[in-house]
């Protein structure tokens, strides 16, 4: 920066002005009314700065200066515990702007349906209003406990978080798939296919279910018990061959979650199914937390599981991302769907930037759900001191993402310089390919 420019501009806009000075447009502009001289004169006269910040009437740099000291204090009532867990919305980065729709919720704030044998709670479109593609359910089953046999309108994807379960699903062709799953295993049940989940020996299990329907409700599924209880007994007799006395013994209310005896060995159940055991379609996916990553750097790793390697998962794709302390999942967006996140371990923050310069930063902890609107750019930074692990979920057959760094690296020099207003040598410091996770 020249000494002349130091004299004629306020420190608050030094950065912006320097950028303008470097552009070919600024150099060729008639000098009588350059932005620099106009802003400098206005500032000296004590007038309000007119800037590209538009409706907010301040440059980004003015807003950076304005967020310190008494301006940012909060002398009134304050939920300090919540503020401590979510510092960014309480003291937003100066780059945040406007008020994008909510994109944070936590399973810890959701109603818990607690029954003998376990519980369920959900984060859906009712909690995050703009999340119309996917909804999530978090469920616990003790050893032997069933999530009652059922089916529903949405496709169901799941990951086992802890413990083991036995799952079964029946196909329209009259064949049944059955398998045991443990921590890090997935399953996918197509809409309308009846299925079961039962906790196995030991401490039972806890898992996350994701449905490709934002307004899905775990209280709104077709249950075996409810169906049987509402068919006239004489029809049941014709259909099943069960007498009225036998009909009377059927459950009259939903079982939903209920304790039961532990099943026998998996091999026994497979032997029972015999030739009607489904072996071609694999509805479970083993080892999602220990598989070879598609990207691995000093900052972390990312695994992708979609229909290319888990063929039955036709409408839900997943990234499992590990970010080391201080590292970031690089700035990117997804061209083929909104992103529903489940935070499994650690803590971090995410900024979402949207059209009309809307931007907001939120903090996330294990058990939280995040949402990214379709195409909105975002990064995830690990702000804790242990590895951050989170799921990126999409209602799509195939995972896709666009890396901003990769895009910049592909811009020819003049194109890049015209937009970014930086010297080419600076622009070329950007990593030249999709790194996915950038180390601290
Ligand atoms: Mn289900
Ligand atoms: Mn993403």
Q: How many structural domains does the chain have?
A: 2
Two tokens at 27?
């150099």
* 134 and 49 co-located in one domain: no
Q: Are strands 377-382 and 113-115 parallel, antiparallel or unpaired?
A: unpaired
CB 266 within 8 A of CB 361: no
Can 246 be counted among the known catalytic residues? no
Closest CA to 388 of 371, 368, 360, 403: 368
Question: Over 90: is that where the pLDDT of 71 sits?
Answer: no
Q: What is the C-alpha to C-alpha distance for residues 218 and 115, in angstroms, rounded to an integer? A: 14
- Residue 189 in any domain: the answer is yes
Q: What is the C-alpha to C-alpha distance for residues 433 and 409, in angstroms, rounded to an integer? A: 7
Minimum mean pLDDT among 95-99, 149-153, 316-320, 367-371: which range? 95-99
pLDDT band per the 50, 70, 90 thresholds, residue 352: very high
Closest CA to 372 of 88, 89, 134: 134
* 140 and 87 co-located in one domain: no
CA of 378 to the centre of ligand 2 (A): 7
pLDDT band per the 50, 70, 90 thresholds, residue 57: low
Ligand with minimal distance to 211 CA: 1
- Residue 75 in any domain: the answer is no
* 342 and 262 co-located in one domain: no
Residue 206 Rama label (left phi>0; alpha psi -120 to 50; beta): beta
* 125 and 61 co-located in one domain: no
- Residue 72 in any domain: the answer is no
CA of 317 to the centre of ligand 2 (A): 12
CA of 236 to the centre of ligand 2 (A): 50
* 306 and 325 co-located in one domain: yes
Furthest-apart CA atoms within the chain: distance in Å: 99
* 116 and 101 co-located in one domain: no
CA of 152 to the centre of ligand 1 (A): 6
Ligand with minimal distance to 379 CA: 2
**Pick from 226, 251, 285: which residue ends a domain?**
285
* 420 and 351 co-located in one domain: yes
Question: Over 50: is that where the pLDDT of 27 sits?
Answer: no
| pLDDT tens digits, 108-141 | 999 999 999 999 999 999 999 999 999 999 999 9
Question: Over 90: is that where the pLDDT of 356 sits?
Answer: yes
Ligand with minimal distance to 304 CA: 2
- Residue 357 C-alpha from the chain's centroid: 22
- Residue 76 in any domain: the answer is no
CA of 333 to the centre of ligand 2 (A): 6
- Residue 122 in any domain: the answer is yes
Catalytic residue among 125, 156, 392, 406: 392
- Residue 194 in any domain: the answer is yes
Taking CA 135 as the corner, what is the angle to CA 390 and CA 372, rounded to the nearest 5 degrees?
55
What does the radius of gyration of the chain's CA atoms come to, in whole angstroms?
28
The whole-number average pLDDT for the span 287-297 is: 95
* 115 and 85 co-located in one domain: no
**Pick from 262, 285, 308: which residue ends a domain?**
285
* 315 and 427 co-located in one domain: yes
* 259 and 191 co-located in one domain: yes
Domain assignment of residue 319, given as a range: 3-65+81-105+292-438
- Give the HSE-up count for residue 130: Cα atoms under 13 Å, Cβ half-sphere: 15
Question: Over 50: is that where the pLDDT of 42 sits?
Answer: no
Q: Which residue is associated with the tokens 């030739």?
A: 275
| pLDDT tens digits, 195-236 | 999 999 988 999 999 999 999 999 999 999 999 999 999 999
Give the pLDDT of residue 14.
Answer: 34
Ligand with minimal distance to 167 CA: 1
Question: Over 60: is that where the pLDDT of 317 sits?
Answer: yes
> What's the CATH number where 311 sits?
2.60.120.10
**Pick from 257, 285, 313: which residue ends a domain?**
285
* 198 and 251 co-located in one domain: yes
Percent helix, strand and coil across the chain, each rounded to 5?
A: 25, 30, 45
- Residue 334 in any domain: the answer is yes
pTM, 2 dp: 0.85
Give the pLDDT of residue 165.
Answer: 98
Q: What is the C-alpha to C-alpha distance for residues 195 and 65, in angstroms, rounded to an integer? A: 58
Question: Over 50: is that where the pLDDT of 382 sits?
Answer: yes
Alpha helices in 133-276 (DSSP H): 224-229, 233-240, 244-249, 266-273
* 118 and 58 co-located in one domain: no
Closest CA to 23 of 425, 411, 419: 419
- Residue 74 in any domain: the answer is no
CA of 188 to the centre of ligand 1 (A): 9
């Amino acid at each position: 920066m020249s000494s002349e420019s130091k004299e004629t501009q306020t420190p608050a806009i030094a950065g912006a002005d320097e950028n303008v000075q470097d552009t070919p447009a600024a150099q060729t502009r008639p000098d009588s009314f350059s932005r620099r001289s106009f802003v400098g004169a206005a500032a000296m006269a004590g007038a309000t700065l007119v800037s590209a910040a538009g409706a907010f009437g301040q440059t980004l740099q003015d807003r950076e200066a304005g967020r310190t000291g008494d301006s940012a204090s909060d002398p009134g009532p304050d939920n300090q515990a919540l503020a401590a867990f979510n510092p960014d919305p309480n003291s937003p980065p100066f780059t945040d702007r406007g008020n994008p729709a909510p994109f944070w919720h936590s399973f810890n704030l959701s109603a818990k349906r607690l029954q003998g044998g376990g519980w369920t709670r959900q984060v859906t479109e009712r909690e995050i209003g703009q999340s119309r593609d996917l909804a999530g359910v978090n469920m616990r089953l003790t050893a032997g406990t069933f999530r009652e046999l059922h089916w529903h309108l949405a496709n169901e994807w799941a990951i086992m978080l802890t413990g083991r379960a036995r799952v079964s699903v029946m196909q329209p062709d009259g064949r049944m798939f059955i398998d045991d799953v443990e921590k890090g295993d997935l399953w996918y049940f197509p809409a309308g296919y009846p299925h079961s989940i039962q906790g196995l020996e030991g401490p039972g299990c806890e898992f996350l279910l994701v449905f490709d329907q934002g307004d899905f409700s775990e209280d709104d599924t077709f249950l075996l018990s409810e169906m049987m209880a509402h068919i006239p007994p004489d029809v049941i007799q014709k259909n099943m061959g069960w007498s009225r006395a036998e009909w009377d013994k059927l459950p009259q209310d939903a079982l939903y979650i209920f304790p039961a005896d532990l099943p026998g060995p998996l091999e026994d159940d497979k032997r029972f199914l015999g030739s009607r055991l489904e072996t071609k379609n694999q509805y479970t996916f083993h080892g999602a937390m220990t598989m070879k990553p598609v990207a691995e750097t000093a900052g972390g790793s990312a695994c992708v599981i979609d229909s290319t390697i888990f063929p039955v998962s036709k409408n839900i794709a997943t990234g499992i991302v590990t970010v080391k302390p201080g590292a970031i999942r690089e700035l990117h967006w997804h061209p083929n769907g909104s992103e529903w996140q489940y935070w499994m371990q650690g803590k971090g923050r995410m900024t979402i930037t949207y059209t009309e310069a809307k931007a907001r930063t939120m903090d996330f902890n294990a058990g939280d759900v995040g949402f990214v609107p379709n195409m909105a750019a975002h990064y995830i930074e690990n702000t804790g001191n242990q590895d951050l692990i989170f799921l990126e979920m999409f209602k799509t057959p195939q995972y896709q993402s666009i890396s901003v760094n990769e895009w910049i690296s592909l811009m020819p020099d003049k194109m890049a310089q015209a937009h970014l207003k930086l010297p080419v040598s600076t622009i070329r410091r950007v990593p030249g390919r999709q790194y996915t996770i950038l180390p601290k």
